[in-house]
């Protein structure tokens, strides 16, 4: 689905990129892998570093100041160390809070991720849209602006669903998914005034498309889901048009924090083409 990726007007293409320069994808956890999946389809030859701020997970329950400090600090250090040709903040929470600030200080094109309210407004037939995000995302002025600009004549019902972040993380570790987090999120939206008429749900957290099947069952037939991953991948493709790619080392994943990286994580990362796994 198309997105209103917070990408354009400041993102400058890097025609000067070295062929081995990677794309750096950043999230608090495994959510950004949903974006990586789409990037792989369009740019299979692109070297990638996937960075997960697992020491800061979850972002959704943090303050704006905490999130902004983590995201700008980490991306500053990562850009210095890895010289990416482009950074994708594959996280709605981090993008809606810190994208402007990160763009101010980093001299690399930055593509962000914001709730796909625009395509949802074009899709809904009943005029009622549900939005599932983190608690931090749903209160952002950026979301108010998107609603005002693209869905002023619709009813947009927002719900913060932190349990879905945990459920998505568990699913990718191969653990059982907490069904009550899924049904709870659907029921919370349905219980809001007008919620029974929801026919379109914006998955405004990159973790949530990992649970689309489970959410589909919880909402029942007639509800469609929209998220930004494909639109973001297209934007990355546009911004790197004409550049050369050469993968000289295996793509890798970085995790913040200490301790051993569980084997279940390693297996899942290999599935996404990330063969190296390191602490950052």
Supply 10's token pair: 């400041």
Residue among 65 and 152 whose Cβ is closer to ligand DGL = 65
Site string for ligand DGL, 187-226 (x = CB under 6 A): ------------------xxx-------------------
Which of these ranges, 8-16, 57-65, 193-201, 211-219, lies near ligand DGL under the rule CB under 6 A? 57-65
* HEC secondary structure over 206-242: CCHHHHHHHHHHHHCCCCEEECCHHHHHHHHHHHCCC
CA torsion sign for 21, 238, 30, 97 is positive
Residue among 103 and 207 whose Cβ is closer to ligand DGL = 207
Q: 77 to 96, contacts with ligand DGL by CB under 6 A?
A: 91-93
Neighbouring residues of 5: CB distance < 8 A, sequence distance ≥ 6:
111, 112, 113, 114, 228, 231, 232, 235
Length of the chain in residues, anyone? Answer: 280
As a whole number of angstroms, the distance between CA 43 and CA 47 comes to: 9
54 part of the interface to ligand DGL, by CB under 6 A:
no
Residue among 207 and 252 whose Cβ is closer to ligand DGL = 207
φ/ψ (deg, to 5) at 272: -90, 10
Q: 231 to 270, contacts with ligand DGL by CB under 6 A?
A: none
Binding test (CB under 6 A) with ligand DGL, winner from 22, 47, 60, 84: 60
The nearest distance, CB 180 to ligand DGL, in angstroms, is 18
The nearest distance, CB 171 to ligand DGL, in angstroms, is 14
Question: Quick one: 271 exposed, middle or buried, by C-beta within 10 A (0-12, 13-18, 19+)?
Answer: exposed
57 part of the interface to ligand DGL, by CB under 6 A:
yes
| Alpha helix stretches (DSSP H) within 23-63 | 33-42
As a whole number of angstroms, the distance between CA 96 and CA 137 comes to: 7
> Hey, which residues does 26 pair with through a beta bridge?
51, 89
> Hey, which residues does 158 pair with through a beta bridge?
131
The nearest distance, CB 80 to ligand DGL, in angstroms, is 24
Binding test (CB under 6 A) with ligand DGL, winner from 68, 132, 165, 269: 165
Residue among 11 and 91 whose Cβ is closer to ligand DGL = 91
The nearest distance, CB 72 to ligand DGL, in angstroms, is 16
118 part of the interface to ligand DGL, by CB under 6 A:
no
**How far, in Å, are 69, 85, 87, 224 from residue 73 at the CA level?**
6, 18, 14, 37
34 part of the interface to ligand DGL, by CB under 6 A:
no
Which amino acids are annotated catalytic? 91, 205
The nearest distance, CB 159 to ligand DGL, in angstroms, is 14
User: What region, left, alpha or beta, does residue 194 occupy, with left being phi > 0 and alpha being psi -120 to 50 degrees?
Assistant: left
Residues that bind ligand DGL (CB under 6 A): 27-29, 31, 57-60, 91-93, 134, 137, 165, 205-207
């Amino acid at each position: 689905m198309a997105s209103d990726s917070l990408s354009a007007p400041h993102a400058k293409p890097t025609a000067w990129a070295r062929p081995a320069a990677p794309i750096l994808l950043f999230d608090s956890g495994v959510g950004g892998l949903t974006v990586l999946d789409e990037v792989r389809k369009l740019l299979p030859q692109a070297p990638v570093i996937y960075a997960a701020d697992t020491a800061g997970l979850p972002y959704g329950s943090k303050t704006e100041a905490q999130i902004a400090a983590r995201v700008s600090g980490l991306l500053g250090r990562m850009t210095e160390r890895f010289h990416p040709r482009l950074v994708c903040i594959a996280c709605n929470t981090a993008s809606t809070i810190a994208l402007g600030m990160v763009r101010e200080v980093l001299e690399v094109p930055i593509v962000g991720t914001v709730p796909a309210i625009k395509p949802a407004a074009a899709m809904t037939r009943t005029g009622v849209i549900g939005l599932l995000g983190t608690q931090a995302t749903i209160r952002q002025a950026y979301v108010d602006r998107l609603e005002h600009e693209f869905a002023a004549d619709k009813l947009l019902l927002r719900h913060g669903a932190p349990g879905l972040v945990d459920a998505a993380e568990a699913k990718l570790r191969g653990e059982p998914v907490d069904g009550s987090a899924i049904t709870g999120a659907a029921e919370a939206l349905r219980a809001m005034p007008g919620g029974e008429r929801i026919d379109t749900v914006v998955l405004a957290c990159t973790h949530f498309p990992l649970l689309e099947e489970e959410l589909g069952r919880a909402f029942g037939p007639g509800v469609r889901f929209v998220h930004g991953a494909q639109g973001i991948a297209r934007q990355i493709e546009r911004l790197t048009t004409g550049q050369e790619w050469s993968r000289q080392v295996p793509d890798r994943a970085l995790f913040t924090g200490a301790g051993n990286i569980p084997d279940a994580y390693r297996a899942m990362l290999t599935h996404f083409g990330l063969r190296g796994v390191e602490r950052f």
